[in-house]
Chains A and B, each alone.
Chain A
Amino acid sequence: MATPLVVSDVAKSFTMHLRDGVTLPVVKGVSFSIRAGECAVLGGPSGAGKSSILKMLYGNYAVDEGQIIVQHGGGLIDLASASPRTVLSVRRHTIGYVSQFLRTVPRVSALDVVAEPLVERGEDRETARAKARALLAQLNLPEKLWALPPATFSGGEQQRVNIARGFITEHPILLLDEPTASLDARNRDVVVELIDAKKTAGVALLGIFHDLDVRDAVADRVIDVTAFAAGKIAA
């Protein structure tokens, strides 16, 4: 089966120049791959570096060492050393990401926040909005909220907008950082359904889920991040 994402020997540390330049090692020797149609889950305690790994895979955090090989545009690229322009293209076409919190943009309606990634990929605005409506309905977001900017929404409402925005495109790789953290049981189940549909469609998923029920429902495999602890001697 196809393997659209291969991570090898990735290391990450933070150097805090404002605190006498102390270096905080986070992970090293991070190596795994994700196949099309599977959902792998990053496991490990708080602070182990799960979100940091996801952010490196999205180009949001810089990578100190190692390679992140992604199938993109008919070829392979190394995201760890890619130019900003290549990273932008990867985000538009290949890797989607649902962050833990929605970053709101003033004056843009929830519907357009969700439709935007499709419009960026060249879909016409009305088609994109129709898909956005369907997803927001599936996630039980009250219709009266669709035309409003999400800045004033509750945590769970914002998160559902964020999930819809992440799931609306057909990116072959999808990264999920605790997408169900602020959702009730009914909507957690919807997210599980959405993830299953992505798997069936052959998407490679990598997620972080604190909720054990959700994790058990979606995970094909758990990648234990403590194995990559930067303090530890590599096995």
Chain B
Amino acid sequence: MTDEPLLRVSALSKFYGSRVGCENVTFDLWPGEVLAVVGESGSGKTTLLNCLSTRLLPSSGTASYRMRDGQRRELYRMSEAERRFLMRTDWGFVHQNPADGLRMTVSAGANVGERLMAVGDRHYGRIRATAVDWLSRVEIDDDRIDDEPRAFSGGMRQRLQIARNLVTGPRLVFMDEPTGGLDVSVQARLLDLLRGLVTDLGLAAIVVTHDLAVARLLSQRMMVMKDGRVVESGLTDRVLDDPRAPYTQLLVSSILQV
């Protein structure tokens, strides 16, 4: 563990005209930490995630990121090209809908291989071998490597999206409802897989979810959002077992057991 946060976020706000997306969000994320962001629909989770991953620019506030060479860079002062480079090499983004994160008309193998080529690998044999390895890590049989994701089930597509994102060895992964839209048994398997990968690779991750059980399983820390603001944050088990804010108590009481 280093003593420098990987990501340092300060007073981040995003307004859509007069509507609040997220407001005054501040936190630090260290290497290897998984932070869950929970809250009801419209509370600003996706807005926050998109600002952090620079897919969206905030209205105000700052975020700095510690690059691989140890230097801190202000995310919103980087050039477009620098940000794209970060997204391709050091970050992953897992969308709720795999179709948003995959290329549906190229093969599964190419979906994974493409990311490797984007970071400069040109050796076909090695790319294919790495792709096969990653497909097996996400439990996709190697005889499916030449199939297009269009032919995959929802759970398989999501696992493929995860492989595509992790193959380049990112240090930070953003996930927006990674298990949303899947049925319960498929969700459990995916969660288990994610949990294993995150621990084995020592990834830092920010996971948006409305499912407190997912937050409990995947994250060490949690932020609860309401109306664009963070109403409570802390260790995940502390927030869930001893919720302090009225809204968190409501959230925790409205589910059976987490």
Contact = CB atoms under 8 A, between A and B. Distances in A.
B186 to A, nearest CB: 12
Contact of B220 (A17, A88, A106): A88
A137 interface: no
B84 interface: no
A119 B26 CA distance: 32
Contact of B30 (A18, A59, A85, A105): A85
Contacts of A108: 192
Nearest to A119: B199
Contacts of B221: 84
Interface in B202-235: 217, 220-221, 234-235
Nearest to B258: A103
Contacts of A85: 30, 33
Contacts of A62: 234, 238, 242, 244
A97 to B, nearest CB: 11
A61 B188 contact: no
Interface in B230-255: 234-235, 237-238, 241-242, 244-246, 249-250, 253
Interface in A81-123: 84-85, 87-89, 105-108
A89 B192 CA distance: 24
6 contacts: A60-B241, A61-B242, A84-B221, A85-B30, A107-B192, A108-B192
Contacts of A17: 245-246, 249-250
B189 A107 contact: yes
Contacts of B137: none
A18 B249 contact: yes
Interface of B: 1, 30, 33, 188-189, 191-192, 195, 217, 220-221, 234-235, 237-238, 241-242, 244-246, 249-250, 253
Lowest 8 A-B CB distances belong to which pairs? A17-B246, A107-B192, A61-B242, A84-B235, A106-B188, A17-B249, A84-B221, A62-B242
Nearest to B193: A107
B242 A60 contact: yes
A16 interface: yes
B129 to A, nearest CB: 24
Nearest to A116: B199
A221 interface: no
B192 A106 contact: yes
Contacts of B234: 62, 84
A62 B233 CA distance: 12
